[in-house]
Chain A
Amino acid sequence: MLEARGVTVRFGGVAALTDVSLSVTAGQVTGLIGPNGAGKTTLFNVITGLQRPDRGEVRIDGSDVTRRGPHRRSRLGLARTFQRLELFGTLTAADNVRVGLEASAHHGHVIAPVSETAIGAAGDPALAVLERVGVGAVADAQVGSLPTGTARLVELARALSTGPRIILLDEPCSGLDDNETETLGALLGDLAAEGRAVLVVEHDMDLVLKVCDVVHVLDFGEVIASGTPLEIRADPIVQAAYLGRMDVPASADPDGHGAGPGRNGHGAPGVAPGGPGPVPGAPA
């Protein structure tokens, strides 16, 4: 359904992605893991059209979209969330979702974000979408004032509002508490069950191993392994590159990303504090 082939991106002399290929299938949750700076977000940017690759192509339903802008890819049924929140901060949570609902109202390639009955129960499509993600209570709050975890869920609701067939989630669990994380895991499964393709970048290994059907491991801009969660867990290369440095099973919130969105648009996103998290080290 979604396919990246031989994607290469260089920032100056640094290769952020080297010949990365992966595909995402409808009805499955695909995991993308790797240390900070491995190139996961860059790959998301390439897939959604925010970053043009130096080489390689992106295909949706077999057709090449590498040269198409992000809004045209979205109309083919692609949606995403951002690692560092990109909410419409001056709007309310409900209005954030409404922008997505209106944007997708007139084009095809849609799997409805919520059922008609849910809309009927909530009385308002935007509210229904927020409720599905579990944040119906903050519908009328300006999202700029929400705590990070809640804001992250609002962003998920907004991505969902366009009725995507392919949904890309960039660290959806950072900033969420254990209950919220569990709910989210169930939601990811449901989204796949509705026939959507879900691609998720996540550091919470418990979640990844539990909900993902397929996992790809990215390190220094290259895919070093792909397989089922169990295969990945057993793969010695992966252990050396990533899991091996993480002796403690990753049940705690793995790193400091949830601390809050960057306030000024720059700063190093990948600098994690010490602790049981995956070790940063790869260049940006």
Chain B
Amino acid sequence: MSVFFSYTVIGITVGAIYAITATGLVITYTTTGIFNFAQGAVGMVAAFSFWQLWQGWGWNPVLSLAVVLLVLAPLLAIGVEFVFMRRLHGASTVRSLMVTLGLLVILVGLATAIWNPQVQRIVPQFWPGDDVTILGVVINYQQLLTVIVAVAVAVAMRYFFRWFRVGVAMRAVVDDPDLVALAGAKPHRVAQMGWMLGFFFAALAGCLIAPTVASTGLNIDNLTILVVNGYAAAVVGRLRSLPWTFVGAIALGLAGEYSVGYLSQHLPSSLGGQLPELVPVVFLFVALLVVPAARLAAVGRLPVHPPPRVANLRQSLLGAAVLIVAVAAVSPLLGGSLLAAVATGLTLGIVGLSLVLLTGFAGQVSLCQLTFLGVGAYVMGKVASGGGDWLGLVAAVAVTAGLGTVIALPAIRLRGLYLALATLAFGEAAYFAFFTNTSFFPGFGGSVAVGRLSLPGVHLVGDRAELIEIAAFFALSAVAVLAVRRSNFGRRLVAMNDSPAAFATLGLNATVTKVAVFALAAGMAGLGGVLYGGETGAIAGNDTQLQFLSSLILLLFVAIWGIRTTTGALLGGLSATLLPFAETHLPAAYAGLTGLVAGVGIVLLGRSADGVLGLPQLRGRVRLPFTDTPRRPAGDGGGADAAPTDDEIKGAVGVA
């Protein structure tokens, strides 16, 4: 029994930390309408800053904590609100999602640049050796403090929203910021307060977690992703209710401890060891199942930005040919490792194309697209060795598409935000339960060999030939994506994204459509994986592409270039590969460069929903392969859009 108490008490202390960060998440969401994916990254930066002040510079610990929580976190919040968030008032879910994801990437990049990941940093326990015994369980002061702080947060927030003018305004602003403005409150102030409180709680949780990971030292990625627990708790509170968020957090803390205590011994050791990472993910999925379906609200908003023009079949085939020829022409100039990087970039470009389908057209966000790449490569490696390349290719696409369906089903009837959460959780689960599982990838970081895809009748010799093959696959995939966009199905995707309410009242089933496009996108990412595996010769379980940050960076780069265009996918895939490649060839001071560039690029999305290719300066002037760069803004709309002339088509090819 004392063992049970022990798990219970520890579970509560762990849950208390989740509750604190989830409280911040919910407050920011309810006051600003923006779900802060960077919540964990803020906590991570706070934990590192705390270490820096206390351990690095030898400040007094209490002073260090005060500076981090009361100076650093609020200042960061004010800056972030001013630079990134203020422009997002009324923006679509996808755009606001991208911006907080960008913030996450910026913070990770910044932390990597400031605190070299190779150095171990340990934040010690606050009161080493001091403990109390409750119900026969020994609890140290640190754990006690955590619980006390969580209770204080719960009580304080309850009174804050009832009694304080700004608290009441924060509750009101969710309903209608314009009305609050009319009533004399300043929505900006309120939003600022929402961000400050959110960041404060993120930082508080980060500083409380820091000493609990003393055995391994602070780790940028781990601290950032730990927030998945907070997400799960917030989902239990439906992103609204603080009491339910607390319930969710404590339940999650308990579930984690009990499963480690009682379940792990019944599981194979390769899986049992990963339980701490898997429990929150399973928990999140279950929580998503019980969230009621989103009400289809009429949005009453017309898109301000004209969409990119869609290339017709002839134009897209022409673009495809140009791309293949261009790659073939450039390939002799590329050295061994650069050649490989470009080839990898093109395979990621295919995954980027899947994001054009899913996010660009249908407005759904997936944060695990590179997980499908890994699964595709794995299936290819396993099947092709016995059944041949074509069977491997078909199996890889089929398995990833099927997997996509299974993941999408619980979340897809909900708002887009929940799908993003589910995919993030799935990506993490796959990483810990599959890719780093020694039963599938023997030895930690073991790999499965993947052969090159050989086409019948074509003998590929050498890396250059393979690069051209990959370029051809990218080009054909791009042609396919554009063909989908022109088809009835593609029209439906865009329609569903523009107005879900009108979509439904025309007799169309949004759930079916979303599952279909998610499966299609997953299958396409699987195809990218087949080629990726062939290019690298194997898929390694600890491949950095399989970690959550890589999926994020790819998504961001495609969005930065233009997520509604196939050209955006091409440039996004190349950026996501060539920047890290450059990083490895630069001095160590440039660590985190990729993240910083991606993050800064995201600021652009505040100005141009279609990214770089959609910038007004570029509109209608620059034509890139596949000729679907955004068109000039339409005039008064009275004039019909004439078919492109031959000159335009020639111009389209000219720049490529």
A residues with a Cβ closer than 8 A to B are 45, 48-52, 69-72, 74-75, 78-80, 82, 84-92, 95-96, 98-100, 102-104, 107, 137-147, 150-151, 155, 158-159, 161-162, 261-269
Contact = CB atoms under 8 A, between A and B. Distances in A.
Nearest to B640: A140
Q: Which of A90, A143, A265 is packed against the most chain B CB atoms within 10 Å?
A: A90
A145 B638 CA distance: 9
Interface string B461-477: 00000000000000000
A107 B507 contact: yes
Interface stretch (B45-53, B174-182, B447-455): B174-182
A99 B298 contact: no
B298 A82 contact: yes
B641 A141 contact: yes
Contacts of B497: 90
A69 B413 CA distance: 12
Nearest to A140: B640
Contact of B504 (A70, A84, A261): A70
Given A70-B501, A82-B300, A82-B501, 4 more contacts: A71-B509, A96-B495, A98-B488, A104-B507
A45 B498 CA distance: 18
Contacts of B504: 49-50, 69-71, 74
Contact of B502 (A82, A147, A150): A82
Contacts of A48: 505
Contacts of A103: 506-508
A263 B295 contact: no
Contacts of B634: 141-142, 145
B638 A162 contact: no
A165 B152 CA distance: 60
A49 B295 CA distance: 10
A144 B304 contact: yes
Interface in B486-526: 488, 491-492, 494-495, 497-499, 501-510
A142 B637 contact: yes
A143 B488 CA distance: 18
A214 B134 CA distance: 75
B636 A147 contact: yes
Nearest to A263: B301
B296 A70 contact: yes
B506 A162 contact: yes
Given A103-B508, A268-B179, A139 B640 contact: yes
Given A145-B634, A145-B636, A268 B176 contact: yes
Given A141-B638, A146-B637, A266-B177, A87 B304 contact: no
Q: Which of A52, A138, A159, A265 is packed against the most chain B CB atoms within 10 Å?
A: A265
Nearest to A107: B507
A69 B636 CA distance: 37
Interface string B181-207: 000000000000000000000000000
Contact of B506 (A50, A99, A150, A261): A99
Interface in B410-442: none
Given A71-B504, A142-B637, A50 B298 contact: yes
B639 interface: yes
B89 interface: yes
Contacts of A98: 488, 491
> Lowest 3 A-B CB distances belong to which pairs?
A264-B90, A74-B507, A84-B300
B391 to A, nearest CB: 35
A110 B598 CA distance: 51
A144 B506 contact: no
A86 B506 contact: no
A30 B231 CA distance: 49
A71 B494 contact: no
14 contacts: A52-B295, A71-B508, A74-B504, A74-B506, A79-B506, A86-B299, A87-B302, A90-B306, A91-B494, A139-B640, A140-B641, A142-B306, A145-B633, A266-B177
A158 B508 CA distance: 13
Nearest to A161: B506
Contact of A137 (B491, B495, B635, B638): B638
Nearest to B182: A268
B90 A75 contact: no
A144 B641 contact: no
A144 B303 contact: yes
Contacts of A89: 302-303, 498-499
B494 A88 contact: yes
Contacts of A262: 300-301
B307 interface: yes
Contacts of B641: 92, 140-142
A161 B303 CA distance: 23
A5 to B, nearest CB: 21
A88 B306 contact: no
Contacts of B307: 90, 142
Contacts of B300: 82, 84-86, 261-262, 265, 269
A89 B297 CA distance: 16
A125 B488 CA distance: 15
B613 to A, nearest CB: 15
A91 B495 contact: yes
Interface string B507-551: 111100000000000000000000000000000000000000000
B515 to A, nearest CB: 14
Contact of B637 (A69, A72, A147): A147
Given A139-B640, A144-B304, A99 B90 contact: no
Nearest to A137: B638
A71 B507 contact: yes
Interface string B109-151: 0000000000000000000000000000000000000000000
Contacts of B301: 261-265
Given A90-B307, A141-B637, A266 B176 contact: yes
A85 to B, nearest CB: 6
Nearest to B641: A140
A264 B306 CA distance: 16
Nearest to A70: B504
A91 B491 contact: yes
B492 to A, nearest CB: 6
Contact of B498 (A52, A74, A90): A90
Q: Which of B304, B491, B635, B636 is packed against the most chain A CB atoms within 10 Å?
A: B491
Contacts of A155: 502
Interface string B276-320: 000000000000000000011111111110110000000000000
Q: Which of B89, B501, B502, B505 is packed against the most chain A CB atoms within 10 Å?
A: B505
A69 B90 CA distance: 27
A70 B502 CA distance: 9
B171 to A, nearest CB: 12
A162 B505 CA distance: 10
A86 B495 contact: no
B298 A86 contact: yes
Nearest to A267: B178
B505 A74 contact: yes
B499 A162 contact: no
Contacts of B502: 82, 86-88, 155, 158
Contacts of B498: 87-91
B507 A75 contact: yes
Nearest to B631: A142
B176 A79 contact: no
A161 B177 CA distance: 37
A84 B499 CA distance: 12
Given A85-B302, A104-B507, A107-B507, A99 B177 contact: no
A265 B90 contact: yes
A48 B295 CA distance: 13
B214 to A, nearest CB: 47
B201 to A, nearest CB: 27
Contact of A87 (B499, B505, B509): B499
A73 to B, nearest CB: 8
